[in-house]
Structure 1
């Protein structure tokens, strides 16, 4: 094989390797971008879920507080009635 042919083949091989490397890099960038998009979407969903859970917890605590208050008032009224302190 002539020196010119060897140089041609080497150049052709180098070009093919470079093209494959560029394709690999582009594919990797696309995969990383897709992964980042999914992570961002997951973070947004998690934030919304956390906010919703916080609101539900606040509502539950409010409701529980009202129930405790009503039970205490009922107990106090019962004690007053038993001791004859009710104003009825």
Structure 2
């Protein structure tokens, strides 16, 4: 895949190198949604990860463990949106 391509022409996967790396989603919003509603996966719906959001909703965030791990990942700036771009505090 060319470095300037927005997505792979064969599979449609986003090119993180061309995309600039950071998501347009709000870091603070994702962090607060995870803190208050993490057991319901609302923060995953917010960033576009619908499938794992539904799984978190059905398992209550892996009984809170999955939600806690996501909170830590968001807080350190490594959480990614559905397009593979990091949600960071700019």
TM-score using structure 1 length: 0.19
Structure in which a larger fraction of residues adopt helix:
1
TM-score using structure 2 length: 0.19
Larger radius of gyration: 1
Q: Could you say which structure has the greater relative contact order, defined with CA pairs below 8 angstroms and 6 or more residues apart? A: 2
